[in-house]
């Protein structure tokens, strides 16, 4: 994936994190407490944010109807027909 595609993919993750009832975080932050995790800072400061793996979790009080079907989540940004890829385009 080229730099432009990476940028758009990260922007889609950031938008989902801020506007949906999903919590998106890098797997590399599994060892941190919830209060220490900051997706925006991680993406801005860490080069590995472009190639790392992310976890998508529903918020504790999320309504099931507002969360996309888990079968549509994409871990691979190159999947053109994934739900996340549709958000990017």
Range of the domain at 18: 3-88
| β-bridge mates for residue 23, sequence order | 57
Residue 16 is predicted with a pLDDT of: 85
Mean predicted lDDT score pLDDT of the chain = 73
All residues at 6 or more sequence positions from 74 whose CB lies less than 8 Å from its CB, including other chains: 82, 83, 84, 85
Query: For the CA atoms of the chain, what is the radius of gyration?
Result: 13
Write out the H or E segment, with its range, that includes residue 79: none
Global pTM? 0.57
Number of domains in the chain: 1
Residue 88 is predicted with a pLDDT of: 45
* pLDDT above 70 as % of the chain: 67
Q: How confident is the model at residue 85 (pLDDT cuts 50, 70, 90)?
A: very low
All residues at 6 or more sequence positions from 63 whose CB lies less than 8 Å from its CB, including other chains: 21
Other C-beta atoms lying within 10 Å of the C-beta of residue 74: 19
């Amino acid at each position: 994936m080229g730099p432009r595609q990476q940028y758009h993919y990260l922007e889609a993750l950031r938008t989902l994190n801020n506007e949906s009832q999903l919590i998106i975080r890098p797997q590399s932050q599994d060892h941190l407490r919830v209060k220490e995790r900051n997706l925006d800072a991680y993406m801005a400061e860490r080069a590995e944010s472009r190639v790392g793996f992310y976890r998508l979790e529903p918020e504790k009080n999320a309504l099931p109807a507002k969360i996309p079907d888990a079968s549509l989540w994409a871990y691979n940004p190159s999947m053109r027909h994934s739900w996340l890829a549709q958000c990017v385009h």
